[in-house]
Amino acid sequence: MQVCSTCEASTRCGLKDEGLFDLCPKIKTVEKTVKPEVKKEATAAVIDKEVLRRYFGYSEFRQLQQDIILDVLNGNDVLVLMPTGGGKSLCYQYPSLLLKGLTIVVSPLISLMKNQVDSLRSNGIAAEYINSSLKYEEIVKIKSSLLQNKVRLLYIAPERLTIPSFLSFLKGLKISLFAIDEAHCISEWGHDFRPEYRQLKIIGSSFPDVPIIALTATATTKVREDIINQLALKDCKKYVASFNRGNLVYHVRPKQEAFRQIVEFLRTKPRESGIIYCYSKKSVDSLAENLKHAGFRALPYHAGLSASVRSTNQEKFIKDDVEILVATIAFGMGIDKPNIRFVIHHDLPKNLEAYYQETGRAGRDGLRSDCVLFYSYGDRQKIEYFINQMANEKERQIAHNKLMDIINFCETNVCRRKLLLGYFGEDYTEEKCSGCDNCLMPKDEMEATGEILAILSCIEELDEKFGINYCIDVLTASKSSRILDNGHTSLRSYGAGKNLPKKIWHGFIRELLRRSYLMLEGEYPVLKLCQKSRDMLSGSGERVEKIFLVKPEVVEKPAIIEHASDDEGLFEALRTLRKTLADAENYPPYMVFNDASLKQMALRRPCTPEDFRKITGVGDKKLERYGAIFISEIRRFCERLNPTGQPLKKQSSEYVTLEMLNKDMDLDEITLKRNLSLNTVYGHIEKLILTGENINIEKFIKKEKIEVISCAILEIGGETLKPIKERLGDNFSYGEIRLVRAKMKATLAQPPPPDA
């Protein structure tokens, strides 16, 4: 005898695979009497920003979000194309709080469902998921809650809609909206096609009056049309946001001593989370082990590890128990970790789609994050080798074209952001983005005719039988046994380049290969001349007068805020507290508060619930749950700084300056009232801008001067102020330069998007 958990009747129920009880009279009544939500409403929907504040902790929507939400609330079918971190989830999570019925979210990954549901619950929103990870009794309990209208959002996998009993159960619920996440999976033309997504067309026929919102981060025009057709979306409104991730900074570095470069980079990111992608499982294991020996907390992730080890390593990374995950491309999809501060590609990605998707996992909280790609000609050859093994000629040509696109991205001298966005059909109109190495550190122009002729002569003298390193050894007068045994010390080109370091010669040869003056051929690649270079040697062809060389790589100094002693100390204290609370609740730390919220707390130092409520990301539920704990930690920190018995220092000195600026005080008034130097006040404003405060520097600096300073920073680079000041002269102060530089960097540290 089985007791039905829905009607609690001691009835002999026919159990279905989904927990339905055939003989339960209550369920049968529900199926007969409940009608689907009417799609078109009589009156236009109204946005309630108090709901946004109360549940998500934000005062404003991001671009496009409000328009999308209004369409959803008015019962329209909608297609949303928005990059990772752009705020897609809010476009259906917010409406679910205003609609009268249930919102069903179709999601392809179990791990992503759990993260989304945990995050919603932490904000006080009733959400559940049903998937294969749950026990039978758990599913029955959730269904009971659904029948009692206790759930706002239900997450399911696409396969579940194809189960007749479950579909029948859904028809008995009051459903107001279907949200199809990762909608590109429905298209054969998409980069991640999943056949089970094709079954989602059943939504339109089974629930004809319920609106659908389809969401994806990457979809070509062809894929978008396929999504609309497959889901049978009616009068579909299409919203396409910019692909630009303004807070990501793109770097491409020569793959020389890559491990040393990685270690130097990681030492500038203590306690920060990041992913390092490698091409092979062997490289993953080797790099992860070497990083451990170097003192970093790193774990591997690839398909060669057991499912339990992969799951454990991923969980440790998500919960900040380790900072670094070294992985193949098997890792990434469905990872909802907003505080990934860097993504490093140890090896060349296969194409720009993969690169965009993988780098897009950094900086989802809107704070500045770095994307570093190590590029070598050897990596290019590895990928070319595998492409050449493809049997299908058309597929081989497509793969080769895609490879050339990523190579062009690596070797270009122009703005990398412009090239990347252009690949996805978006026109980036800014001349300089201030967010890639080519814009931050423009390449030198160097007259190199003599050096190029030396390279070509050396290759010719070597009978085109040797590779890059051997050629450079000859040019730099190496005394290696191989060169001595071959008798190549007698060549005219031997020692012709000993005045320059080897890495410069590597740069010259890479550039000549890119410009098709040289070729690499053979299984063990040797340098070959072509007609272009032979003509140059003979003097009959065009002469190469200039060639671009990358400046020696310099690790960019972190923004000033990351090294400000008091705020950094409080940020670390709050980060430690967050980890303790998250571990106690078995949550990833970012579900308590993200890094952007902690940075605001460290700057503003809220010591009352009213002030704490003003922090971005603090909704009513989190204020109630965590407010007192974090306020106590902030008060303790302030008291340690000020143990004299004087009134408690509730805010940083910079925030006091901000309050004066908000009262429209000018700089002279602030320096007089606070008894501070003008340079100190400039320092406060610089720090406030870098923290994300929206300060209009045109109040202090004329627009014409801002433009001149900006041009100088773009031309010289913004690492140090002295060269900029020397270029601009006495009419420009260090303080003015600092503010303009901060404003340029602020585009890389926007406030976090309201993306639940």
Domain ranges of the chain: 34-240, 248-440, 444-549, 557-651, 655-756
Q: Quickly list H helices, 462-604.
A: 468-475, 481-486, 502-514, 531-538, 565-585, 595-604
Q: Which of 304-308, 642-646, 700-704 has the lowest mean pLDDT?
A: 642-646
The DSSP bridge pattern shows strands 273-277 and 340-345 to be: parallel
Query: pLDDT at residue 42 above 90?
Result: no
161 closest CA partner among 212, 91, 226, 235 = 212
pLDDT digits (tens, 9 = 90+) for 589-598: 999 999 989 9
Average pLDDT over residues 20-49: 42
pLDDT band at residue 474 using 50, 70 and 90 as cut-offs: very high
Q: Give 461-472 pLDDT, tens digit per residue.
A: 999 999 888 999
pLDDT value for 21: 33
- Please count the helices (runs of H) and the strands (runs of E) in the chain: 32, 17
Whether 600 contacts 751, CB under 8 Å: no
Q: What is the dihedral of CA 292, 298, 302, 305, to 10 degrees?
A: 70
Structure confidence by residue, pLDDT tens digits, 155-202: 999 989 889 999 999 999 999 999 999 888 887 665 566 778 888 988
What pLDDT is attached to residue 622?
Answer: 92
Low-confidence winner among 156-165, 328-337, 485-494 (lowest mean pLDDT): 328-337
Sign of the Cα torsion 746, 747, 749, 750 reads positive
Q: Sign of the C-alpha dihedral, residues 281, 249, 690, 365?
A: negative
For position 177, what pLDDT does the model report? 96
pLDDT in tens, 118-140: 889 989 999 999 988 889 999 99
Instruction: Give, in order, the Cα–Cα distances in Å from 551 to each of 345, 445, 664.
Output: 20, 10, 43
CA atoms within 13 A on the CB side of 143: 27
Q: Which of 417, 418, 385, 421 is nearest to 403 (CA)?
A: 385
Give 74's pLDDT tier (boundaries 50, 70, 90): very high
In terms of Cα–Cα distance, which of 574, 602, 601 is closest to 589? 574
Q: What are phi and psi of 606, to 5 degrees?
A: -70, 125
> Could you give the CA distance from residue 641 to residue 17 in angstroms, rounded to a whole number?
62
| Predicted structure pTM score | 0.65
Cα 534 to Cα 537: distance, rounded to the nearest angstrom? 5
* Topology (CATH level 3) of domain 557-651: DNA polymerase; domain 1 (1.10.150)
| Minimum mean pLDDT range among 398-407, 628-637, 745-754 | 745-754
Quote the crossing angle between the two packed helices 734-746 and 678-691, to the nearest 10°: 10
Helix, strand, or coil here: 746? Answer: helix
Q: Nearest Cα to 462, choosing from 471, 473, 453, 454?
A: 471
And the tokens for 754? 């309201």
Angle, helices 90-98/49-56, rounded to nearest 10 degrees = 110
> Residues 207-218: what's their mean pLDDT?
90
Tell me what the mean pLDDT of segment 565-587 comes to: 85
Contact 406, 351 (CB under 8 A): yes
- Looking at residue 14, what is its pLDDT? 36
Cβ count within 10 A of residue 444:
11
pLDDT confidence of residue 34: 33
C-alpha to C-alpha distance for 489 and 485, rounded to whole angstroms: 9
Residue 754 has pLDDT above 90, yes or no: no
Band of residue 749 on the pLDDT scale cut at 50, 70, 90:
very low
What six digits make up the tokens of 223?
A: 């894929």
pLDDT at 566 over 90: no
pLDDT tier, 79 (very low <50, low <70, confident <90, very high otherwise): very high
Q: Reply yes or no on whether the pLDDT at 552 is more than 60.
A: no
Check pLDDT > 70 for residue 10.
no
Handedness of CA 750, 374, 455, 519 (dihedral sign): negative
What is the amino acid identity at position 486? N
Instruction: State yes or no: pLDDT of 37 exceeds 70.
Output: no
pLDDT confidence of 35, banded at 50, 70, 90? very low
Residue 564 has pLDDT above 70, yes or no: no
pLDDT band at 33 (very low <50, low <70, confident <90, very high): very low
Residue 209 near residue 246, CB atoms below 8 Å: no
Angle at 357 between CA 354 and CA 359, to 5 degrees: 105
CA distance 185 to 195: 8
User: Alpha helix locations (H) across 192-232?
Assistant: 202-206, 221-230
Tokens 């585009």 locate to 747
* Among 549, 531, 529, 548, CA closest to 540: 531
Structure-token match 């690499």, residue found: 520
557-651: same fold as 444-549?
no
> What is the Cα–Cα distance from 287 to 278, expressed in whole angstroms?
9
Q: How many CA atoms lie within 13 Å of 410's alpha carbon, on the beta-carbon side? A: 29
Query: Which range (9-13, 295-299, 314-318) has the least confidence?
Result: 9-13
pLDDT bracket for residue 16 (50, 70, 90): very low
Q: What is the rounded distance in angstroms from the CA atom of residue 96 to the CA atom of residue 102?
A: 7
Exposed/middle/buried for residue 287 (C-beta within 10 Å: 0-12, 13-18, 19+): buried
DSSP helix, strand, coil percent of the chain (3-state; round to 5)? 50, 10, 40
Rounded to whole angstroms, the Cα distance separating 458 from 493 reads 5
Mean pLDDT of the chain: 82
Per-residue model confidence (pLDDT) at position 47: 78
Give CA–CA dist 99/178, Å, rounded.
12
Residue 112: enclosing H or E segment and its boundaries? helix 110-122
Architecture of domain 34-240: 3-Layer(aba) Sandwich (3.40)
Closest by CA to 750, choosing from 537, 599, 631, 566, is 599
Annotation: CATH topology of 248-440: Rossmann fold (3.40.50)
Residue 160 DSSP SS3: helix
Q: What is the CATH number of domain 444-549?
A: 1.10.10.10
pLDDT (0 to 100) of residue 537: 87
Cα dihedral: 25, 26, 28, 32 (round 10): 130
Taking CA atoms, 726 is separated from 330, 683, 731, 732, in Å, by 50, 20, 11, 10
Apex CA 440: angle with CA 439 and CA 445, to 5°?
A: 70
Q: For residues 168 and 656, which has the higher predicted lDDT (pLDDT)?
A: 168
1.10.10.1390, 3.40.228.10, 1.10.10.10, 3.40.50.150: which CATH number matches 655-756? Answer: 1.10.10.1390
Rounded to an integer, the average pLDDT of 35-46 is: 44
* pLDDT of res. 72: 94
Q: Which residue has the higher pLDDT, 663 or 598?
A: 598
Residue 307 reports pLDDT greater than 80: yes
622 exposure class (CB count in 10 Å sphere: 0-12, 13-18, 19+): buried
pLDDT of residue 332: 64
Give me the helix-helix angle, 352-359 and 416-423, nearest 10°.
Answer: 110
Task: Quote the crossing angle between the two packed helices 565-585 and 595-604, to the nearest 10°.
Answer: 130
